[in-house]
Structures are given as C-alpha cells and as structure tokens.
C-alpha cells in the first residue's frame, strides 16, 4: 500500500497519509517508523517538542542505509517550538532537529503555534502571562525563509494559524507557506478553514484525525467519532475498520492527515484507505458530527496576543 499525494504550491508533493509521532515513546517509535516504511508510508510528522526525533532518525537512517527506501522518496516534517520564535534562533533550531533526525534537510518545517514564549520560560508556561514573548510570527517567518535559502528545509509552513494570521503572513512573506497543519476530525471538520486555505493554494494537514483516542473519557475532551456506534456500523458495511472510515472521510475533505500509531496492525490499516468511497448518506452523517470541539485548544494561552482560537477560524 502507498499513499496518494497532494501538490504543494511550490510544485513539490506531500503524501496524503503521514505517520504522527507525538507521544510515540522512545523504544517503540523506532519500530513504528520501520513498520510504517514497510507498510508504504513515506510521510512522517515530527516535532522538536516531541522529544523523540533522535529515535525517529535512527530508524530512518537504518531504512535508508539498508536500501528499503531512498531519502528523496521520504517526506519529513518537523516543527519549531514556541520558545524559539526569535528570527536568529530558527536556523539553530532546525539544525538541532536535523542532527537528531540524522538528515541534511527536511521536507517541511512548520511554526508549531503562532504564539511564542520567552526562551528561558518552560515549554508549557500555563497561567504565566509573564512567560509570553512579544516576538511576532512575521519575524519568525524570516528565520523560516532563511532555512529554505540555506537548503535546510525544502518547504516551510505553519501550524495552528487562524485565517487572519495567515492573511497577515501572506501579505508579508517572500516565500509562501505551503501548509497549515490544524486539528481536523469529525468533531471539528474545519470546512471553512480548508476552503480558506484551498483558495490560497495552501494544503491543510489534519492532526488528531483519530480524535486522540487515548483521551476518551477524560473530562473536557470530546468523544472520538471512531467510537460512535454509527461509525462502527459503517465499518461493517464497507468491510473496513472504524479508523479507516474516519480517515477516508477526512481525506475526502481534500486534506492530508497524520494519524499517530505505534501499533503495527493500525499503522497498516491507517494507510489502506483509498479503495472505497463513502456514500452520500454516510458522508452526511459524518458531516453532522461537527461540533467545532477541539482537543488542542490551550485556552490557558488565550490572553496571548497571538492566540489563534479567539475567532471562528
Ligand atoms: N501541529 C500540532 O499542534 C499538532 C497537535 C497534535 C498532534 N499533531 C500531530 O498529529 C499527530 C496525530 O495526532 P494525535 O497523536 O494527537 O492523535 P490521533 O492520531 O488522533 O490519535 C492517536 C491515538 O489513536 C490510536 N489509533 C491510531 N490508529 C488507530 C486505529 N486505526 N484504530 C484505533 N485507534 C487508533 C493510537 O493508538 P496506538 O498508538 O496505541 O496504536 C493513539 O492512541 C500527532 O502524533 C502529531 O504528529 C500536531
């Protein structure tokens, strides 16, 4: 099985299915990456924040070295964390990521969130307004552009940006963002943001596509649609799994997705979603699940001047 691709606005291609790696623990993520390459994945969604880029890099170099995959066929994404938004910190941070991943370049580098924290603050300074940095993401973007000029990233983009922030960036940038990575699952289908991005030739990558199943039952988190009895019925009807129903629906919205799994069987099933089409009634049902409920809301940062979720999209 291999993933279909989408064209980026700079002519490059992003595989529609990528492997998410947040909370994929060291000791398991190496095998997950190797299993994913064997299953046909070429797109890996990483981040400095996740603390596991070194293990991912070990698995990637092993697979490149033994000839299972060529570097040029892989699409590796990483993200700049919020403490490092000053322009002069961006190149050193991508170099740290490259050293961990054991790569000379990555395919896509994203600003993880539009809001920044001071360099010496914690990584999650919740409730500490004094930890906010006033660096504008437009300044950060200049550092991102430098990464492309130096050949350290083939493409650059953003994550968790709202429509106003994207508009502001598009007015000022020299290199256009190719991707906005945002939360997309049936509880928050992001149709307006997907259209907004498509109109500007920006690809949306959807994160938390499975509704972060492991958070099910934790107060404040929406119930993942994968658990919905109607979705389980659909899975029987199409002879697929509930996860495949959800991913097929999300891809039909015109986006790329990065489901995380460290379970071999799920890694395999999550890329095997291109051989069926949901009928109108089932699509309508999944559309009706939209409640604009986020898993990654970070309300604790809502007083930050660059908090993205104070407007509709
Ligand atoms: N840009 C951002 O701010 C941002 C924010 C959040 C996430 N992300 C990215 O998006 C990726 C995905 O999001 P996420 O990890 O938060 O959540 P997710 O992919 O929605 O859910 C992951 C959970 O679903 C389980 N799972 C995976 N496939 C399954 C299947 N077919 N059936 C049943 N359960 C399944 C996984 O279990 P097992 O692993 O145990 O199999 C894991 O518990 C992240 O890993 C990260 O790369 C980006």
Q: How far is the CA of 268 from the centre of ligand 1 (A)?
A: 14
Instruction: Kindly tell me if the per-residue pLDDT of 2 is higher than 90.
Output: no
Q: How far is the CA of 120 from the centre of ligand 1 (A)?
A: 29
pLDDT band at 178 (very low <50, low <70, confident <90, very high): very high
- Give the per-residue pLDDT at 82: 98
**Which CATH number goes with the domain that contains 14?**
3.20.20.100
Structural domain range at position 153: 5-306
Is there a catalytic annotation at residue 50? yes
* Domain membership flag for residue 289: yes
* Domain membership flag for residue 312: no
- Give the per-residue pLDDT at 31: 98
- Give the per-residue pLDDT at 101: 98
* Domain membership flag for residue 311: no
pLDDT band at 14 (very low <50, low <70, confident <90, very high): very high
Domain count across the chain: 1
Using CA atoms, how far apart are residues 80 and 152, in angstroms rounded to an integer? 13
Residue nearest ligand 1's atom 43 by CA = 214
**What DSSP state is assigned to residue 233?**
H
Which residues surround ligand 1 with Cβ inside 6 Å? Answer: 20-22, 45, 112, 159-160, 181, 207-214, 226, 241, 243, 258-263, 266, 269-270, 296
Q: What is the position in ligand 1's atom list of the atom closest to the CA of 259?
A: 19
Least confident range of 16-30, 94-108, 211-225: 211-225
pLDDT band at 20 (very low <50, low <70, confident <90, very high): very high
Q: What is the position in ligand 1's atom list of the atom closest to the CA of 24?
A: 39
Residue nearest ligand 1's atom 39 by CA = 261
- Give me the torsion for CA of 68, 70, 75, 78, rounded to 10°: 90
**CA dihedral over 89, 21, 248, 16, signed as positive or negative:** positive
pLDDT band at 221 (very low <50, low <70, confident <90, very high): confident
- Give the per-residue pLDDT at 151: 98
Residue nearest ligand 1's atom 4 by CA = 207
What does R_g of the chain's alpha carbons equal in angstroms? 19
Cβ(26)–Cβ(52) below 8 Å: yes
Q: Which one of 21, 110, 189, 210 would you pick to mutate in the ligand 1 pocket, going by the greatest count of ligand atoms within 8 A of its CB?
A: 210
Mean local confidence (pLDDT), 64-72: 98
């Amino acid at each position: 099985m291999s993933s279909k691709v989408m064209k980026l606005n700079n002519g490059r291609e992003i595989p529609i299915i990528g492997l998410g790696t947040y909370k994929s623990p060291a000791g398991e993520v190496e095998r997950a990456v190797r299993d994913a390459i064997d299953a046909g994945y070429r797109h890996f969604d990483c981040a400095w924040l996740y603390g596991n880029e070194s293990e991912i890099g070990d698995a990637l170099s092993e697979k490149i070295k033994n000839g299972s995959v060529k570097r040029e066929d892989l699409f590796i994404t990483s993200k700049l964390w919020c403490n490092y938004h000053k322009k002069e910190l961006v190149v050193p941070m991508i170099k740290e990521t490259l050293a961990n991943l054991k790569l000379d370049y990555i395919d896509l580098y994203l600003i993880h969130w539009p809001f920044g924290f001071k360099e010496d603050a914690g990584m999650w300074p919740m409730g500490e307004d004094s930890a906010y940095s006033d660096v504008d993401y437009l300044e950060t973007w200049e550092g991102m552009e430098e990464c492309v000029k130096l050949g350290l990233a083939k493409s650059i983009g953003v994550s968790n940006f709202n429509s106003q922030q994207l508009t502001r960036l598009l007015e000022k940038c020299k290199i256009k963002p190719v991707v906005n990575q945002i939360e997309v699952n049936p509880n928050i289908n992001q149709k307006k943001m997907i259209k907004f991005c498509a109109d500007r030739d920006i690809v949306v990558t959807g994160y938390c596509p499975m509704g972060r199943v492991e958070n099910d039952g934790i107060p404040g988190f929406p119930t993942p649609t994968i658990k919905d009895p109607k979705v389980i019925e659909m899975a029987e009807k199409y002879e697929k799994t509930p996860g495949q129903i959800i991913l097929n629906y999300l891809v039909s919205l015109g986006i790329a997705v990065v489901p995380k799994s460290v379970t071999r069987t799920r890694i395999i099933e999550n890329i095997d979603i291109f051989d069926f089409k949901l009928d109108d009634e089932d699509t309508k049902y999944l559309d009706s699940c939209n409640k604009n409920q986020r898993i990654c809301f970070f309300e604790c940062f809502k007083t930050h001047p660059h908090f993205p979720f104070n407007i509709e999209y």
